[in-house]
Structure formats: C-alpha cells, structure tokens
C-alpha cells in the first residue's frame, strides 16, 4: 500500500509532529485554567457513561461549528 499510516485514522486523532507540542501546551493551559478545572470536576461527577458520551459529542459538534464559522 502506498499510503501513510495516518490514512487509516480519523483526521481528528492524527496530528502533525509540528503542531503536536503547541496543541499539547494549549491543552495543559486549559486543564490548569479555572474553566478547565470547573469543567473537569463537573464532568467527573456525571456517573452515567451515556450522558458523558453525549456531552463529548456536543462539545465536538460545537467546536466543529465554531471552526466552520471562522472560515
């Protein structure tokens, strides 16, 4: 096969090596922010896995919509 390994994975999962450090830094900055801490605490208090999955799906959809509106 003449395709890179990343061809077989979801685009949202794979990242280029160049942007990895920056996205990791942004993630850590968010996790240590007041909003990040509040969100993580509230999320971990949700015991129903289906509800947590729906929240993740909602956040992804809102993020994709926000990115589309920026174009």
- Cβ atoms within 10 Å of 35's Cβ, excluding its own: 9
The Cα–Cα gap between 40 and 56 comes to: 12
- pTM for the structure as a whole: 0.58
DSSP character string of 12-56: TT---HHHHHHHHHHHHHHHTSHHHHHHHHHHHT---HHHHHHHH
Tell me the pLDDT tens digit for each residue of 24-37. Answer: 888 899 999 999 99
- Give backbone dihedrals phi and psi of 13, rounded to 5 degrees, phi first: -90, -40
Tell me the pLDDT tens digit for each residue of 18-64. Answer: 566 678 888 899 999 999 999 999 999 999 999 999 999 999 999 88
């Amino acid at each position: 096969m003449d395709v890179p390994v990343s061809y077989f994975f979801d685009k949202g999962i794979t990242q280029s090596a160049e942007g990895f450090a920056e996205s990791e830094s942004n993630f850590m900055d968010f996790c240590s922010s007041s909003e990040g801490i509040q969100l993580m605490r509230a999320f971990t208090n949700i015991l129903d896995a289906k509800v947590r999955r729906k929240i993740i799906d909602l956040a992804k959809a809102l993020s994709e919509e926000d990115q589309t509106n920026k174009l």
